[in-house]
Amino acid sequence: MSAADQTTGRGLGRRRLLRSGAVALAGAGAGWAGSAAARAADGAAPPAAADDVLTISPPDGAETVPYLGPHQAGVATPPQAHLVLLGLDLVDGTDTDDLRRLLRVVGDDAARLTQGEPALSDTEPELAPRPSRLTVTIGLGPRVVDELVPGDLTLAPLPSFSTDRFEEPWGQTDLALQLCADDPTTLAHARRMLLKDTASFATVRWVQTGFRSARGSQPDGTTMRNLMGQVDGTVNPAQADGDFADLVWADGPGAFAGGTVMVVRRIRSEMDTWDKVSRQGKELAVGRRLDTGAPLTGTAEHDEPDFDAVDDNGLKVIDAASHIARARSDDPAERFLRRGYNYQVHRDDGTDDAGLVFTVFCADAERQFVPVQRRLAQQDRLNEWITTIGSAVYAVPPGVASTDDAPGLALLEES
């Protein structure tokens, strides 16, 4: 049989198949149009057009956060949807020169990746052009500050609190790299590139991943919800506040001016027991309504709580041991910027470990964070359902004005 016979005989051939399919589709379209017209004649509305069902918005993946500036990005930056937090330990024998080289290579690739450019030795450059608001924030642990950073900068480890129940491997590390982006693929690529950069200098102790609501799923500026259903982070300083800079950015010493301190607490939520609590019991423990986040004495999330208000039985509407009552202070300095992320990890036994990667930024952790955490550890109704299983603190150097520089290098030049 000739090629022509194969096309016109028993064999359909590619052109005939496509042509037949087109006719079939056209027939289906005509049938739909006819039935739609009949329904319209009967007074029934036709099905919605595709444009009424799906609205495609311009992609946000090209958005960038400036890498250069007086402060590192990823602190005051509006939180992205996804987090990867890397805890690294320097290899034995690492000296200040090694740390300088590490900061240079990480800083150089961070500058590239956050602006949508491939890393210097990028093996998958196709993954770099859509940074999706990627930020990379570098933090130095207490041992690094004490042994490798000259000058007057000090960073004390956090004290222990009575509610701490630490588990391996979530403890203090020498370095932390906080990576945030709206796209998990972008984040995975940046994580791989930066771990290549650090491989000769440090080992990975832990990786903490986290998430918030997807970008665009709710209006920008909406307070996040944690996995316990609570609006989490209502009382948070905003950049427009007059005291924001004093609360977040350190004024020194020396080259650390414009830096900040990052506290990381891994807080497990005991979801199985929390699920058994009534809605009223949950709201009493927190001191806020679950639906709106409003204090129990108010109607809107940002209403000021009235801790003196009593109900018809003479009992405080907001329990003095509730979470918001214990977290609140009359000292305006005992505030800090919260930038937490939910986490959920599947265990080998078939259950889930879920909770919060509670990240705090402040000018002075001992002055601002520690007093609040001490009160919460002493008495907080919520402690029955949350357990702190990890803790660390890092000095986050200020930003840089040039890509020839890298965060932390100026600290190593001080004498």
pLDDT tens readout for residues 300-316: 999 999 999 999 999 99
In a domain, 348, yes or no: yes
pLDDT > 50? residue 14 = no
Per-residue confidence band for 398, with pLDDT thresholds at 50, 70 and 90: very high
Choose the final residue of a domain: 53, 72, 92. 53
Span 38-44, average pLDDT: 45
Same-domain pairing of 306 and 164: yes
* Model confidence band, residue 58 (pLDDT cutoffs 50, 70, 90): low
Segment among 7-21, 106-120, 184-198, 368-382 with least mean pLDDT? 7-21
Per the listing, tokens 């979530």 go with 170
Q: Is residue 184 part of a domain?
A: yes
Report yes or no on 96 lying in a domain.
yes
* Eight-class DSSP state of 316: B
E runs forming strands in 175-244: 175-181, 202-211
Question: 154 and 41 in one domain?
Answer: no
pLDDT bucket at 15, cuts 50 / 70 / 90: very low
Q: Same domain, yes or no, for 90 and 39? A: no
- In this predicted structure, the answer to whether residue 21 has a pLDDT above a threshold of 80 is no
Q: Do the Cβ atoms of 216 and 91 come closer than 8 Å?
A: no
Average pLDDT over residues 334-352: 96
Given the DSSP bridges, would you call strands 337-338 and 386-396 parallel, antiparallel or unpaired?
A: unpaired
Is there a domain that residue 69 lies in?
Answer: no
pLDDT value at position 276? 97
- Would residue 409 count as lying in a domain? yes
Do 20 and 135 lie in one domain? The reply is no
Give me the domain span that covers residue 27: 3-53
Of the pLDDT bands very low, low, confident and very high (cuts 50, 70, 90), residue 23 is very low
Residues 184 and 238 in one domain: yes
Question: pLDDT tier at 60 (50, 70, 90 boundaries)?
Answer: confident
Q: For residue 194, what are its two tokens? A: 């930066």
Q: Answer whether residue 73 is part of any domain.
A: no
268 with 345: CB under 8 angstroms? no
Cβ neighbours, 10 Å, residue 397 = 29
Q: Which pLDDT band, with edges at 50, 70 and 90, does 57 fall under?
A: low
pLDDT in tens, 358-395: 999 999 999 999 999 999 999 999 999 999 999 999 99
How high does pLDDT run on average in the chain? Answer: 89
- Are the C-beta atoms of residues 277 and 286 closer than 8 Å to each other? no
Catalytic residues: 232
Examine residue 169 and say whether the peptide bond preceding it is cis (omega within 30 degrees of 0): yes
Region for 135 from its dihedrals, namely left if φ exceeds 0, alpha if ψ lies in -120 to 50, beta otherwise = beta
Give the pLDDT of residue 149. Answer: 97
Cβ atoms 287, 305 nearer than 8 A: yes
Residue 242, helix vs strand vs coil? coil
Pick the closest to residue 213 from 198, 232, 189 (CA basis): 232
- Indicate whether 48 and 87 sit together in one domain: no
In the prediction, which pLDDT does 415 show? 57
**pLDDT, tens digit (0-9, with 9 covering 90-100), for 140-179:** 999 999 999 999 999 999 999 999 999 999 999 999 999 9
On the question of pLDDT at 12 being above 70, the answer is no
Q: Are residues 16 and 104 in the same domain?
A: no
Kindly state the helix (H) or strand (E) to which residue 375 belongs, with its residue range.
helix 365-378
The pLDDT tens digits for 277-298 are 999 999 999 999 999 999 999 9
Q: What's the confidence (pLDDT) of residue 414? A: 80
Q: Report yes or no: 399 and 99 within 8 Å, Cβ to Cβ.
A: no
Q: Do the domain assignments include residue 104?
A: yes
pLDDT above 70 coverage of the chain, percent: 86
Residue whose structure tokens are 């590139």: 193
In a domain, 60, yes or no: no
- The Cα–Cα gap between 77 and 209 comes to 18
pLDDT at 20 over 80: no
Instruction: Tell me, yes or no, whether 29 and 178 share the same domain.
Output: no
Helix (H) or strand (E) holding 106: helix 96-114
User: Are 185 and 327 in the same domain?
Assistant: yes
On whether both 214 and 315 belong to a single domain, the answer is yes
Q: Rounded to a whole number, what is the distance in angstroms from the first to the last CA of the chain? A: 90
pLDDT at residue 39 tops 50: no
**Domain count across the chain:** 2
Span 211-222, average pLDDT? 94
pTM recorded for the entire structure? 0.86
Q: Give the helix/strand (H/E) hosting 162.
A: none
